[in-house]
Amino acid sequence: MSQRVLTTESGAPVADNQNSATAGAGGPILLQDQHLLEKLARFNRERIPERVVHARGSGAYGYFEVTDDVTGFTRADFLSEVGRRTETFIRFSTVADSLGGADAVRDPRGFALKFYTNEGNYDLVGNNTPVFFIKDPVKFPDFIHSQKRDPFTGRQEPDNVWDFWANSPEATHQVTWLMGDRGIPASYRHMNGFGSHTYQWTNAAGEAFFVKYHFKTNQGVRSLSAEQAAEQVGKDANSHQTDLLQAIERGVNPSWTLYVQVMPAAEAADYRFNPFDVTKVWPHGDYPLQRVGRLVLDRNPDNVFAEVEQAAFSPNNFVPGIGPSPDKMLQGRLFAYADAQRYRLGINHTQLPVNAPRSAVVDNYGRDGLHATRYGSRQDKNYEPNSYAGPAQTGAALASPLAVHGWTGTHEAPLHAKDDDFFQAGELYRLMSADEKDRLVANIAGGLSQVIRDDVIEKNLAHFHAADADYGKRVEEAVRALRED
């Protein structure tokens, strides 16, 4: 095999990649050494701003295969027939830590999935929990600030974490999930994924349904205790990345079965609690799981930076037959996610290979900007409407319209008959075995007992008491015991 020739960025052959050009054998380096300057300048710019949240991540390619007929609920083409396969890319992540953080930590996990459909890319950006800490996006920056490193100490502070939760009673359900046994997955392969938010499906007849997505791992759910996780981090901080990479390389392709809960749109207004509140789940007794298909991961990225770090997901990337709901947190994410990628990667980040559609044709009037690679032909115009046969609107909405009424202003979400911040947290606690309850109480007390202010501790204890009397009593006793040591 012939030797490949090393070149500069402009394609010129490099004569010497071991020695910089100098003024004489021992003299200073010359400014004219274009190869040296180009290498150093490029090296200085190899990193891009990391994600503010979900910075530490791993990814893989795969496919989604439809196994059950759901055309009665959605006209999405990639879900239109049993046996249909669609290429996918998934990015798993932790939420709070930075790019260099460890994998085996107590933290929610991102479960972001890109479907490369014939009608454009569909992004489903979820987590490994069915609920979240807050229900209004105006609180999101404050929530993340409370969970990330303190600007003075430079570390995550229990006082900040628990103070925010003390003043956000709606977080009690998610805190119970996070501090329970599933708070530290054993690997990305051994956790479930959820769309978390409520979305809208619309069928060919124009009928609208609200849905929640559930990806159930076919490897079985496995989690780590706090002690096991600490040991794992000490052995391999990249444990989840290592596991995913090696499993796929061995041909042990992880898979998940997708189920949805389906609520006819007309039932949402009178449901006993707000179905668009992301701090709550829909009981399966009300809306049973209905199988849709399976997700299989079978190929590792060739380059982690190009394909995992530069992968961009936005929940506003819908396809015909799928759309948003009035879920406030989802509404905020429709803007925030795409905007984050415009900042990190530039306005043309959708032209990067990992983000570009595979089979759908992109044809619009967007032009120019940093890293633009799509120009069109010399006859193409960059405005609309025009008289030159440029792309035109279809007039067909992706999803059904949502009815709105009332006065503009800042409003709390309308209360339903059974809306409550604590009831579902209590139900989750009561579903746990005795051993699971022991570990939950120990995990909560371990963090809450480090808080300095008594009033913050009391506010949090009040939330657990409100969820379940035994729950609150046991956490209170455990916190007291640790603080007295």
Active-site residues: which are they?
Answer: 54, 127
Identity of the amino acid at 387: S
Residues 6+ apart with CB under 8 A from 289: 214, 259, 260, 261
From CA 312, how far away is CA 306, in angstroms rounded? Answer: 11
Q: Yes or no: say if 236 and 228 are a contact pair by the CB < 8 Å rule.
A: no
**Other residues' Cβ atoms within 10 Å of the Cβ of residue 80:** 16
Instruction: Provide the pairing of β-strand 322-323 with 85-94.
Output: unpaired
92 DSSP β-pair partners: 58, 111
The residue whose two tokens read 């490994």 is 128
From CA 458, how far away is CA 2, in angstroms rounded? Answer: 73
Q: Which helix (H) or strand (E) element contains residue 397?
A: none
- C-alpha angle 122-110-57 in degrees, rounded to nearest 5: 100
Q: Yes or no: say if 100 and 51 are a contact pair by the CB < 8 Å rule.
A: no
Q: How would you class 204 by CB atoms within 10 Å of its CB: exposed for 0-12, middle for 13-18, buried for 19 or more?
A: exposed
For residue 191, give Cα distances in angstroms to 93, 142, 372: 12, 28, 38
First to last CA, the chain: 70
The first and second tokens of residue 74, run together, are 């959605």
